[in-house]
């Protein structure tokens, strides 16, 4: 798992791609967190998602806003809250990163049967769910 994590860092993926803008991995993590929530999060949500303190999350968000990757909008249901939304530039960068990852995973599993790829995806999804649940949580059950 450590080898996979190291080989799939955003910094490595940014170095390997030949087109598209290079985005700092920490800013990319913010974009991933916003994308994961279907495009609207608060700074507090980002802090939780990245497991960083609120001031660090605020700095990362400010940087993403300054780079034109996030925009702040007032929450329509609560004007005191500010929601973060991906800009078109961020959506393009994320789509490109997803495509690059698909190419790398496709190459790594090119010699595998369809059944092997399906089983790997099922087990990896299960592993991630159990890992994120933490110690003491009941294990994920396939449905």
123 and 73 fall within a common domain = no
78 and 124 fall within a common domain = no
Query: C-alpha dihedral over 115, 120, 123, 127, to 10 degrees?
Result: -170
Closest-CA residue to 8 (of 107, 89, 113)? 107
Q: Which residue has the higher pLDDT, 5 or 114?
A: 114
pLDDT of residue 104: 80
Question: What is the C-alpha separation between 2 and 115, in angstroms, rounded?
Answer: 25
13 and 83 fall within a common domain = yes
Beta bridge partners of 70: 86
What does the pLDDT average to over 96-106?
82
Range of the domain at 75: 2-108
34 and 82 fall within a common domain = yes
- Reported as a single tens digit per residue, the pLDDT across 22-72 is 677 788 889 989 998 876 789 999 999 888 999 999 999 999 999 999 999
- Specify the pTM: 0.73
38 and 77 fall within a common domain = yes
Structural contact between residues 14 and 23, judged by C-beta atoms closer than 8 angstroms = yes
104 and 116 fall within a common domain = no
CATH number at residue 19: 1.10.10.10
Give the Cβ contact number of residue 12 at 10 Å. 13
* Residue 71 DSSP code: E
Mean pLDDT of the chain: 83
Contacts of 93 (CB under 8 A, 6+ apart): 20, 21, 23, 28, 31, 69
100 and 141 fall within a common domain = no
- The total domain count for the chain is 2
65 and 119 fall within a common domain = no
35 and 71 fall within a common domain = yes
């Amino acid at each position: 798992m450590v080898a996979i994590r190291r080989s799939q860092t955003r910094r490595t993926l940014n170095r390997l791609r030949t087109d598209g803008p290079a985005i700092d991995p920490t800013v990319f993590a913010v974009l991933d967190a916003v994308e994961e929530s279907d495009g609207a999060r608060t700074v507090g949500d980002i802090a939780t998602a990245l497991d960083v303190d609120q001031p660090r999350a605020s700095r990362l968000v400010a940087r993403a806003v300054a780079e034109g990757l996030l925009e702040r909008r007032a929450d329509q249901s609560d004007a005191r809250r500010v929601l973060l939304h991906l800009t078109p530039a961020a959506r393009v960068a994320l789509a490109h990163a997803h495509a690059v990852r698909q190419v790398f995973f496709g190459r790594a599993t090119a010699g595998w049967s369809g059944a092997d790829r399906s089983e790997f995806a099922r087990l990896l999804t299960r592993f991630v769910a159990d890992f994120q649940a933490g110690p003491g949580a009941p294990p994920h059950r396939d449905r």
